Amino acid sequence: MENLEAVKASLEQVVLDPRYHDLLTLVKAFRNGIVYGTKVRFPHALVMIFLFRHGSLRSKVSLVLRATRTHARNLGRFALIYKTSMLLLRYSSPTQKERHYDTFLAGLIGGYAVFGRGIQSSVNQQIVIYVFARVVLALAKLAILPRGEGKVSGSGGGYGLIRDERLRERIRDNAWTVFASLSWAAVMYVFRWHPETVQPSLRSSMNYIYVNSDHWDGLKTLLWHNK
């Protein structure tokens, strides 16, 4: 027991030693990516696969575990590559400090290495599309935000593309309405006329809601389950 306590104390000293901080951030980032990916994907895959996929219990469990492993592994890998790239870029700077576009370059390296190469799996597509949608919304906000507002850590604030305050207010009040409406208009059109191009899990969900609702052969298949 005393030996274990001594080992624990030694490890605590290493963990808290500033000399090892940068290296341990890589370990922590990899760990957090795996844990977060597991927490996000497992319940989502469990519900979607058991509700909308056909097959045996064993095959469904296998699909859930495979999707969870892919999501967790890829987020962990991206976090590790991103953090490593940030450290290398910082060390390569003459000032040994983070530069304005280091995050962009590190994200580019991680995105290419983890999500940009190889097979475009449905899990990777979902992750990238989710990120892309959030970036579009953020850029839309930055476009109308005046320069100097929303400044964080020395950034330049908004882009200030719209200078007229009244026009900026109108865009701010109606941007989400337009974005949400056009998004749903586009996805319903694509699903109707080009369903093969829609991501598989989304296509399954939309088939369940919009296609299967056209068919029943009695009260049971109208209200209880699909035909």
Task: Give me the residues paired with residue 110 across strands.
Answer: none
Domain, as residue range, for 38:
1-118
**Long-range contacts, 107-110 (Cβ 8 Å, 24+):** 107/82, 109/81, 109/82, 109/85, 110/77, 110/78, 110/79, 110/81, 110/82, 110/85
Measured on CA atoms in the order 117, 123, 129, 132, is the torsion positive or negative?
negative
Size of the chain, expressed as the number of residues it contains:
227
Predicted model pTM: 0.82
C-alpha Rg value of the chain to the nearest Å: 24
pLDDT digits (tens, 9 = 90+) for 98-134: 998 999 999 999 999 999 987 788 899 999 999 999 9
pLDDT for residue 158 = 84
Q: What is the rounded average pLDDT of the residues 180-208? A: 91
Q: Is residue 213 part of a domain?
A: no
Q: Is residue 124 part of a domain?
A: no
Q: Is residue 215 part of a domain?
A: no
Query: How many folded domains does the chain comprise?
Result: 2
Are both 78 and 189 inside the same structural domain? Answer: no
pLDDT digits (tens, 9 = 90+) for 27-39: 999 999 999 999 9
